[in-house]
A and B are shown apart, each in its own frame.
Chain A
Amino acid sequence: MKKASLLTLFILLVSAIYKIHQYSSDQHLEEWHTYSKAKNDNKQVVFWDSTEKELKQARVPDKEDIKRKPSSLSPKASKVKMLAGREITGEVDANTKHLKWTNSYHDDWKEKLGNSLLRFQEPDAKVMVKKNKSVVEIKKGKGRLMEHVTITYLLEGDETTSFNAWVDSETGEMIRTWNKTIKEPIGHNHERQILTPTGTL
């Protein structure tokens, strides 16, 4: 009987740990990480905490901004709903008790994302990633764990381009992107790339 109780307790404990891991998210704001192949002899992607120089080039809000109080205090209670520490997006009023999960959380989603972002870039390219928050997207009875990130590419000549993205918390795959930087290049300094056809069909 005692063994059965211990076994039951053990099973419950393991389940709890699994559920916590499944939904795991780091809700407080993370640091920027820089990804590059350049610092590794095997040309594998490595990452480090972004340096001040990189943050300056990227023109991202600095830590002092992040630590300040919110820029306004919303007088109405937030409409945001949460599930295991993650904001619910999509069908926010859906019943979450019997959700089917399409993915699970993997700690290395950020590394996978970094690999993907550098896939077609120059060997010395750098890309910076910051997680903004973790969410659960609910659609038609299915839940998907996603990460809301800001991505900034450090380009030649102090140029950068940034955008936001939803990233799958398991595969590191970018699902959708938005908020790409709007530039005003003048003269011949256009960001466009002219392509010449190889031929015709």
Chain B
Amino acid sequence: MTCFGVVFFAFFLSSCVTDSANSQRKTQGASSNSPTSVGPGEGRVLQDNPIIASKNPNLSYDANLSLYIQRTPVKIENGQFLTSQCGEQLSNIGKGLINECVRVTQNRNATQFNSPTSKWAFPVTSPEFLQVNTHYHINKRLDHFHNNIKTLYNHTWGDVDSPQPFSSYDTAIPKYIFDNNGHWKLGADTQTLRAFSDCELENNAEYSPANFTICLGYDAVFKDQVKFAQDDTVIYHELGHGLIDIMLNSRNKTASLSEAISFGYFYYDEAGALGEGLADFVSYVQELRTVFGEWALGRFNNAARPMSEREPMHVAGLAPNEDSRLMYPQYLNYDPNDPNSINEYRHQAGQIFSHFLVALAEDFESTDGCKMDKQTAANYVMKLVMESLAELGDRTSRGGDTRGLGYVNHSADHSTDWIRHVKPITYRQFLQTLSKYTMRLMGNPALNLCNGGVYGQDRLEKLIDSYGLLLFRSYNDKGNAVSSLRTSERQVIPTNRLKSSLVPKDLLIFDPRENASKAFVFDRRADINNALKNNPDIKPSPLIDSELKFNNGNAKISPGEVVGLALNLYNNSNTPMAGIQVLANDWDHVKWEDTAITKPYKQGKFCNNFGDEFPIIAEGGADTSTEGGATAGECKYITRENGDETAEQLAPVCMVQINDTNSTKWALQEELRTKLNLEADNCLGGADSPHDCFIRAIKGADSAWYSKMDPQKTWGNTMVGDNGGSPPFQFHNIIFFEVSPWIPPGTTFNCRFRTRFVNCEDCWEEKIGSTFDDYLDYEFSGGKPFKIINFQFTVID
């Protein structure tokens, strides 16, 4: 009886203490949270950020946060330092396990603190607590992440030591992902993720893929009290960038490549927006809550972000039903904290993606869907994302071990250019790829992942369409290689496209209104200097003066200048255009005529078969009348190797007007150089680059992005809205050209830009017979997928 009483008494006591992460969190008064109050390997953390833990949305910056830490200790680390393993040993020879994969310190220079007793309970205001909190949440997420990879691998390859392809499922996950640590970071020196829990960053946090570090800063006003590391959703978001980096490069790491792919290359592009939305979603997968950043971002800076239309911080009219979703592209510039503002910022543009991913997870949960529990559903969406990232980031161009070269991203030699700007990851492409894997996994009866049923194509497409994202007409299962089978692709059900609008590319034009200009010019010395300073990976030619002394700010294009140009394009349709791109990189638009002359000095004439019919033959254009389309070097033949074939060469966008005795013609810049007797070494790119001798788009600044254009408006009109004023041009909106000091004033150039947009009807796919298929990747070296825009200007003194 006495023993029974003791047991009963102990049970009675224990029921008063919170005991699991998912139980209601009750505070029991402030705790000193000292090491003596926990066992070895244990500590205490803020299981949620202080706003959630306190249930007080107006929690003060100087609130006693010790009231909100979880009373029941959690497992932290058995060793004496906050350094952990991750992954799991999946075979007898050690595959899968990563030693020392995370190290947490206060900041870069701080020594890792030592807990000799391995007890990790510290006052909540101490730097040690922040480190423990950071360590705990990072490892909690990494456990999920690696478990997802493991279960995905089990579906696909099975046994780690003797992987066999599963006949019913074609995966992008590499067969030898665990052999070469393809499930961890490519390219870092130590492969140890360094997390700094109290970094010297004001109002900021960051992930550095170059150094493999996470840096969690502090609030600019309440520097000592409000730290980003107190907010678990911020930790998950930053780590999310790292996990995206890892999965995007999993095939590259497995193939022992050294150069990684980035998810977004410009200050604004759709890949960057998708990355931000996905990083927010990582927080959802961990916490199953649909708001990110309530504490450090939301409470004091009005910058929290929702992930579901049901969140009250949204404007009225949004709801989680098929008619009221956060739609693309209408909500690309939307900030729920300031709905009247219009911002071209990837964090805002990524919200559509986070909302869609949450909605997909909720649909997997639903009784009509796959009847999954919340966590399982979120994990499966994450698995689909992992597959999509692994395929889309593949620099080997295979996209999967059972596929041939060129399935994705053109080729190993040109994959980086393809992903960066020739055929970048966009909302369209990611949703298409995600849909493909959804059908392969959740819609695959052989895998039986949908609780006895399958997740159907019709259901998926309706959900995607409710977000305005059903922008593709085939699932592109066969890939984009030259030899790809163009027919028998799974087709989107046409009647499912009710809200997603596709617009013909011909409706993207120069602003046709009276007195409208064709381009905005940026040539103020200070502005150009700032642009180059803030984008140090952009490098003008050595011929350009380092002081930019030729930049005269006269809004003209003058010899010796670096000039920014933003075409004044107009949406001539009744539907918003999104993800508008202007490309000024070299492309296949010249007929090379003398096969005896080798690169780079090939001679040729500009093609006129891209719909612009410019230049005509009498003005120096190529004669294509006898071309059959099968001979390399001709206009009707597009290079398969992005100009690497002997008979092919890409040409710069700008042609020059040359006045001969009897005629005026458009020609390659090399012809002008020869006519002027200018030494080849005096070309902008030196002797190896004669065809852009005088004017060229600077590599890295040779494409421009615009988030959205409203109907019957320019991008500028769209961005200023009803307020009017000057459009807020940023670096990614402008193409930067360098102008040789050797150009004779009065020389006229025509630059032939390729333009397109994401919700374009005929920029990404074409009809083959009665079905649709994506353009093969090589086509993007030419003009067919683009709207060609010609822009002429004269260089003045």
Interface, chain A (partner B; CB < 8 A): 29, 52, 55-62, 65-66, 68-76, 78-80, 87, 89-90, 116-117, 119-122, 125, 127, 132-133, 135, 139-140, 148, 150-153, 157-159, 161-166, 173-174, 176-187, 189-201
Contact A80–B522 (Cβ < 8 Å): no
Binds A, one of B5-13, B189-197, B625-633: B189-197
Q: Please tell me if the beta carbons of B203 and A117 are within 8 angstroms of each other in the complex.
A: no
B93 partner residues in chain A, CB cutoff 8 A: 75
Partner of B527, one of A61, A90, A177, A196: A196
A199 x B521 contact (CB < 8 A): yes
Bound CA–CA A162/B208 (angstroms): 7
Which A residues are in CB contact (< 8 Å) with B744? none
Specify the chain B residue showing the minimal Cβ separation from A102: B688
When the two chains form the complex, which single residue of A140, A151, A164, A200 contacts B260, counting CB atoms closer than 8 Å? A164
Closest to A78 in B: B256
Least distance between B499 CB and chain A CB atoms (Å): 31
Inter-chain CB contacts under 8 Å: number: 259
- Determine the main DSSP class of B at the interface with A: loop
Contact B537 A195 (CB under 8 A): no
Please state if A72 and B238 are interface contacts (CB–CB under 8 Å): no
Interface residue B709 (Cβ < 8 Å from any Cβ of A)? no
Name the distance in Å between A146's Cβ and chain B's nearest Cβ: 10
Contact A56 B109 (CB under 8 A): yes
Is the CB–CB distance between B554 and A198 below 8 Å? yes
Q: Mark B234-262, 1 if CB is under 8 A from A, else 0.
A: 10011001000000000000011111111
**Residue of B at shortest CB range from A59?**
B108
Instruction: State whether A120 touches B267 (Cβ < 8 A).
Output: no
Kindly state the separation between the CA atoms of A72 and B192 in the bound complex, as whole angstroms: 9
Closest 8 pairs (CB-CB, A-B): A199-B555, A200-B517, A76-B179, A197-B520, A179-B209, A120-B532, A71-B191, A56-B109
CB-contacts of B183-223 with A (<8 A): 184, 187-192, 194, 196, 199-213, 215, 220
Q: Are B207 and A122 in contact (CB under 8 A)?
A: no
Name, among B87, B534, B728, the residue most crowded by chain A CB atoms within 10 Å (CB to CB): B534
Contacts of A194 in B (CB 8 A): 728-730
Residues from chain B with Cβ under 8 Å of A87 in the complex:
258
Quick check: A179 and B260 within 8 Å, CB to CB? yes
In the assembled complex, B94 has its CB within 8 A of some CB on chain A: yes
For residue B95, CB closer than 8 A to chain A, the reply is yes
Q: Can you spell out 26 A-B residue pairs with CB atoms less than 8 angstroms apart?
A: A59-B211, A66-B189, A71-B101, A74-B179, A80-B256, A120-B532, A133-B258, A150-B210, A152-B211, A158-B202, A162-B208, A178-B260, A180-B265, A182-B208, A182-B241, A183-B205, A183-B206, A187-B203, A192-B731, A193-B530, A193-B534, A194-B730, A195-B731, A198-B523, A199-B520, A199-B555
Number of B residues near A (Cβ < 8 Å) is 105
Do A163 and B212 have beta carbons less than 8 Å apart?
Answer: no
Q: Which residues of A contact B533 (CB under 8 A)?
A: 120-122, 125
Contact B521 A71 (CB under 8 A): no
A29 to B189, CA, bound (A): 9
B100-127 vs A, Cβ < 8 Å mask (1 yes, 0 no): 1101000111000000000000000000
Q: Please give, as numbers and ranges, the residues of chain B lying within 8 Å of A74 by CB-CB distance.
A: 179-181
B109 and A52 form a contact (CB under 8 A): yes
Q: Tell me if A55 and B109 are in contact (CB < 8 A).
A: yes
Residues of A within 8 A of B212 (CB): 61
Min CB distance, A130 to chain B, in Å? Answer: 9
Q: B347 an interface residue at 8 Å Cβ cutoff?
A: yes
Q: Is B539 an interface residue (CB 8 A)?
A: yes
Contacting residues, chain B, for A71 (C-beta < 8 A): 98-101, 184, 190-192
Measured CB to CB, the nearest residue on chain A to B204 is A185
| Max count, chain B CB within 10 A of own CB: residue among A52, A69, A71, A200 | A71
Closest Cβ neighbor of A140 among chain B residues: B644
Roughly how many angstroms separate A89 CA and B200 CA in the complex, as a whole number?
37
> Nearest A residue to B186 by beta-carbon distance?
A179
A159 contacts across to B, CB distance below 8 A: 201
Complex CA–CA separation, A62 to B793 (angstroms): 52
Residues of B within 8 A of A140 (CB): 644
B700 with A177: CB separation less than 8 A: yes
Q: Would A72 and B184 count as touching, CB distance under 8 A?
A: yes
